[in-house]
Structure 1
Amino acid sequence: MGIAKFTKTLLFLSSVFFMGNGVVSADTQTGGFSNATGSNQNAVIVKNLDQLKNAFNSNQHHIIISGNIYGGNKPVTFTFADKKWDNTTIEGQAGTGPTLVNIQLKFDGEMLPANQNISNIVVKNIAFKGNISDLQKLTGNDIQPGGSGVNYEGVSLRRINNAWIYNNDFHDMSDDLFSVSLQSDNVTISNNHFWFSNEWLNMNPNPNWNWIGDWHDLATERLTMVVGANGSDSYVQGGHKMHVTLHDNWFGPNIKGRPLLRGYVHAYNNYFDNSSQPTGNNHAGFSQQQYNALQIGSGSYILSENNYFYRTNNSHLVGLDKKGDAYKFLERNNVYNQVTGTNAQSNANPSDFNLPYHYNTLNGSNIEKQVIDHAGPFK
């Protein structure tokens, strides 16, 4: 990591003070609901897929990714599925271009007893990307529900408590780039870059896949993130969990839609970048236009403040699983520059949101510059 970038990032993070339930020390401030520190074990450095598999199979809790690791011509998933994975850090080694290609990290506590989860997870400083030519060649079960292609994300958090995902790059994957679901709680997602390349946008051939019983083209699947799998897995209906903070993330360019938020979500200092403004139809004949930037989902409490929306379409859009589903939404101090479509109206009051931490907000065009300067892996 360059000294200048390292210093800027530490100063940026240290300007936020976490308070409330579980006051944390300066080195664990995340600017949000999480106070995760990850592993305190000795680290193991991995440089290829076999070494990564060996580290995973030997239950290494602190894994450092060095250089580019290719998962193969089908996406491969590493599933961290029980309590032995509490207190885990997966991070990239600065200066090596740490990249996981066709590889998903899935932290999944759904098979644990109902009162248990996997806790204290840190993922940082890694580029997650799909290999487009590999994905275009997938067939059969791989492109239908449950298949390796249609479930391919960078990081998935399922019934996880206390996770910090920061300074990563997520692009060109065939499901959402990232997800938080199954009553996960206390998650901070900060200083990441979520985007799709022009190669993805204009892919040819552009095959049809079946994600949830509905066949459509792969290039249109340009979705960033989901928080809450459905209405029953929301803050309101799911036991008042799903506390998630999104701050200082760079969403775009070439995003079709989302994040779709069904949790208790505080989104601040994010840059929603639709500078490319895709128009027209892709090679399968489907519209390339963005349908929304941020989606307010069923059972959510959403506080959106001091974000920068640039050329976005439908900057905040209410999209519910069922008509009449409850939600609360408050927006304040956001910047809208050359936006199109509509923008949802607030229906909540500041008193509806009780945040157990202090945070510093950015203002005006400074949001764009600061977010871009600090988003993604360290150099």
Structure 2
Amino acid sequence: MAGIVAFATAVSLTVGAAGSGTAAETSDQHTLAVGSPTGFGAATTGGAGGTTINVYNASEFTSAVQRSGAKEVRVNGTINLSDMVKVSANTTILGVGSSARINGSGINISRVNNVIVQNLTFSNSDDDGINVEYATNVWIDHNSFTNPNDGALDIKRASDRITVSWNRSYDVDKNMLLGHSDSNSSEDSGKLRVTYHHNWFDGTNQRNPRVRFGNPVHVYNNYFDSVGSYGVASTENAGVLVEGNYFENTDDPFHLGEGSSDEGSLVARNNHFVNSGSGETGGSVASIPYGYSLDSASGVKSSVTARAGAGRI
């Protein structure tokens, strides 16, 4: 994470500072997403150069994220959703401060391009925290996920060129699914290329991630902390590089196949293990097509626990 703040001149729209629905527009310089993505989602710019919209309740949030054109939607406080809300293209959703939260349901990034979600806590969703499908150029960064009914962050159905960075998941069973079905190879082969880096899998049970078809998928410099069932699973012709991670109190850090899914390929290198199993590897993985800086695995725990999750940018 570069830790750089990007600025752009645009129109700022405040939608009811007290939830009143009163709109006021001023031209100003406003802060967009903090830093910039590395990995497969590096081309993602979200709502850069567009309108800034401050939201305070569910109706304002829904209207803002579905508005066309480039925009940054700034979430203030808790947004209580009763259903999954679809997000339009060229959107940044940015939590303000350390208390911004999406509660009760989650968001769908579906059939769109160029979306950033940053600095939010997703809690108690009746479905997924975030669902990504048929989407490209997505960056999910510095969020927290807790207690979803299904997955914390599911990526599926031909989605591609995505980075998942500096997030924390806790009180989660099915954490991060990549590829939803063994029978979807016609859509997913050659897609589902995702980078997962500097995430904190904090007592999650499984799917950290569980991968079908994507090759390569890059899982690097993450902290796996007391993971229950398993860490990473590579299945159905997937190719996963597991690199420079810190595994602690995790009996099954990574393996091939899962449930009724056939084995994929998995290469592991430069990982650090504390009271953990050694993992299962096999096959070969396509080369990583981008440059990146790999932290020493032994230092990943301290850096990730200090910085991963909402409110820690």
In 2, Cα distance between equivalents of 1:52 and 1:122: 15
Equivalence for 1:268: 220
Equivalence for 2:142: 167
Equivalence for 1:238: 188
Residue 374 (structure 1) aligned with residue 299 (structure 2): no
CA displacement 1:230-254 (0-9 Å, x = unmatched): 12445x973311110000000112x
Gaps of 5+ in 2: 7-33
Q: How does 1:337-376 map to 2 (within 5 A)?
A: 337-340=274-277, 343-348=279-284, 352-376=285-309
Aligned residues: 279
In 2, Cα distance between equivalents of 1:241 and 1:267: 16
Equivalence for 2:254: 316
In 2, Cα distance between equivalents of 1:65 and 1:11: 21
Runs of 4+ in 1 over 6 A off after TM superposition: none
Aligned-residue CA RMSD in angstroms? 2.5
8 Å CA contact retained: 1:298, 1:322: no
Equivalence for 2:21: none
Residue 256 (structure 1) aligned with residue 205 (structure 2): yes
8 Å CA contact retained: 2:256, 2:263: no
In 2, Cα distance between equivalents of 1:56 and 1:105: 10
SS of structure 2 residue aligned to 1:33: helix
Q: How does 1:71-150 map to 2 (within 5 A)?
A: 71=81, 75-80=82-87, 85-95=88-98, 97-109=99-111, 118-130=112-124, 149=126
Gaps of 5+ in 1: 1-8, 15-26, 110-117, 132-148, 197-220, 278-289
Q: Relative to structure 1, is the Cα distance of residues 12 and 195 closer, same or farther in structure 2, using a 3 angstrom cutoff?
A: farther
Residue 68 (structure 1) aligned with residue 78 (structure 2): yes
In 1, Cα distance between equivalents of 2:65 and 2:187: 35
In 1, Cα distance between equivalents of 2:286 and 2:62: 42
Equivalence for 2:22: none
- Structure 1 stretch displaced more, 175-184 or 296-305: 296-305
Specify which structure has the bigger relative contact order, considering alpha-carbon pairs within 8 angstroms and separated by 6 or more residues: 1
TM-score (norm 1): 0.68
8 Å CA contact retained: 2:65, 2:91: no
In 1, Cα distance between equivalents of 2:177 and 2:292: 23
1:179 aligned to 154, 157, 165, which one?
154
In 2, Cα distance between equivalents of 1:54 and 1:358: 38
In 2, Cα distance between equivalents of 1:296 and 1:12: 34
In 2, Cα distance between equivalents of 1:102 and 1:70: 6
Residue 222 (structure 1) aligned with residue 229 (structure 2): no
More helix by share: 1
In 1, Cα distance between equivalents of 2:190 and 2:271: 26
Amino acid at match of 2:199: N
* Deviation, structure 1 residue 332: 0.4
8 Å CA contact retained: 2:266, 2:283: yes
What is the percent sequence identity of the aligned residues?
25
